[in-house]
Amino acid sequence: MWLTITGDPQNATTDTVEVDATSAMAFESMRMVKLRVNRARPRTGFDGNLYQSYYSTAIVDCTEQKAWHRTLSLFEMPLWRGKMRIADSTEGEGREVSFAEMASNPRDRLIKAACAIALRGS
């Protein structure tokens, strides 16, 4: 079940962030959740290549209010279509979840939602 944090998952030209409410796993103050993100315009990934949407497994630290990607499946087209590539961020803390250049950055709402979902299930 995808919970929309911001945007419209049916609109390819909208910045959208969703969290899979059924995927949350808790361990003390840490949460692991699956995300899917669509960007209104193509962006350059951590690997230097263009993408427009992605799936991610993210780790959320509810105490520190931080979140980072552990794995990313990047798609060249909006709404999770087109050629896909995997970006693995398992070394160290991975890549920070930041949603750069989103008009209303949903990072804090995402962290709050991820922590609340996991707390209901534990």
Q: How much of the chain exceeds pLDDT 90, in percent?
A: 57
pLDDT tens readout for residues 38-79: 999 999 987 889 999 999 999 999 999 999 999 899 999 999
- Domain spans, the chain: 2-102
Name 31's Cβ contacts closer than 8 Å, sequence gap at least 6: 24, 25, 59, 60, 62, 114, 115, 117, 118
This prediction's pTM: 0.87
pLDDT computed for residue 113 by the predictor = 82
